[in-house]
Structure 1
Amino acid sequence: MPLPHGSIEQSPTGLRIVIEREVAFGLEEIWNAFTTPEGLEPWVGVLRGNREAGNLRFSMVEEGKEAEPATLEIIRCRAPHELAFTTNSEYGAWHLGLELSRQDGVSSIRFIQELGLTDDPSSIGPGWEYYVQRAIVSLEGDDVDSVKWDDYYPALAATYATAPE
């Protein structure tokens, strides 16, 4: 079982899941892996459209099957340090964020999801642990399919089952 790298935190709007990882890659490499079609495709899905035209769409891909696309709206972008965005799909609106920093040759990744009242953090948290690990494996040039869903869920569900006090 992988060790958890995330937690549930209080936020100004309620609760959020935060996954934190440290890696040796540069900020631009990480930024590209999380924000470009070429970077996202190996580990999570397909990004289509154009930000300037306001028609960004994202589809997760699992076992070669592309999910129904979600619309993607960028709320804040300060490349290569901060991205806040919302996806709207059949599952509702998800408010997500990415924060990158670098110090002494080590880059820090903070991946964030603001939780809605009906969101189940015990399934969402392990999911983001899984996908962030896939992103890191992709950056390393290794096989993302070596990261197994069953190692993350339900094994890490308890980590996200209780809110902070």
Structure 2
Amino acid sequence: MTPTPSGRLFGTDSGPDLVVTRTFRAPVEDVWASLTEPDRTARWYGPWEGEAAPGRSIRVQMAYEEGAPWSELRIDACEPPRRLAVSMRDEFGHWRLELLLTTQGDRTELRFVQHLTETAGVGEVGPGWEYYLDRLVAAREDTPMPSFDDYYPSMKAYFEQLPLA
């Protein structure tokens, strides 16, 4: 499999945003469930535990990373079934993420946004998000899961050379 990178960089007043999109032939509520229900997130990203609500923190397992680490994730905003904003800190930095869903006819578009402070390191994180979003597609379509080796390092140069739109 040779996946095609789709990520783009957009300049904002607070810094660059890395945006990766996927489109699903499914109702927005069903896609939302794939992003927020622990048994469904476990299929493509990892399970989570805790009491989910804006301003609260949950524990999320990155089940497909080396060592399957658990991280604390703060829910900054939750507006079902359209917007989820989360943040976390780990040894790699501060992560601010948004998942935005819009309906287009019988399709739902997922716009995954990572709010960055700089573009350094985008060559490492961009391929990772492409991989995880393709895992989401595979989980929803019940098709074989992709291999991370198809994403990194082959997509690194694409992301490092992205212009700010």
Provide TM-score, normalisation by structure 1. 0.89
Question: Residue 102 of structure 1 aligns with which residue?
Answer: 103
Alignment gaps of 5+ in structure 1? none
Provide the rounded CA distance (Å) in 2 between the counterparts of 1:39 and 1:64: 21
Percent identical across equivalent pairs? Answer: 30
SS of equivalent to 2:31:
helix
Deviant stretches of 4+, over 4 Å:
none
| Superposition deviation, residue 7 in structure 1 | 1.0
Provide the rounded CA distance (Å) in 1 between the counterparts of 2:88 and 2:37: 16
Question: Residue 72 of structure 1 aligns with which residue?
Answer: 73
Provide the rounded CA distance (Å) in 1 between the counterparts of 2:8 and 2:66: 30
Provide the rounded CA distance (Å) in 1 between the counterparts of 2:67 and 2:86: 24
Provide the rounded CA distance (Å) in 2 between the counterparts of 1:118 and 1:161: 8
| Superposition deviation, residue 143 in structure 1 | 3.1
Corresponding position: 1:50 with 2:51: yes
What is the aligned residue count? 162
| Superposition deviation, residue 2 in structure 1 | 1.2
Provide the rounded CA distance (Å) in 1 between the counterparts of 2:134 and 2:41: 13
Q: Superposed, which structure 2 residues align to 1:7-156 within 5 Å?
A: 7-52=8-53, 54-62=56-64, 65-67=67-69, 69-117=70-118, 119-144=120-145, 147-156=146-155
Which stretch shifts more, 4-13 or 78-87? 4-13
SS of equivalent to 2:47:
strand
Which stretch shifts more, 126-135 or 38-47? 38-47
SS of equivalent to 1:84:
strand
Distance change in 2, residues 1:13/1:36 (3 Å): same
Provide TM-score, normalisation by structure 2. 0.89
SS of equivalent to 1:45:
coil
Alignment gaps of 5+ in structure 2? none
What per-residue deviation string (whole Å, max 9, x for no partner) do you get for residues 131-158 of structure 1?
00000110112232xx011111112112
Superposition CA RMSD, Å: 2.0
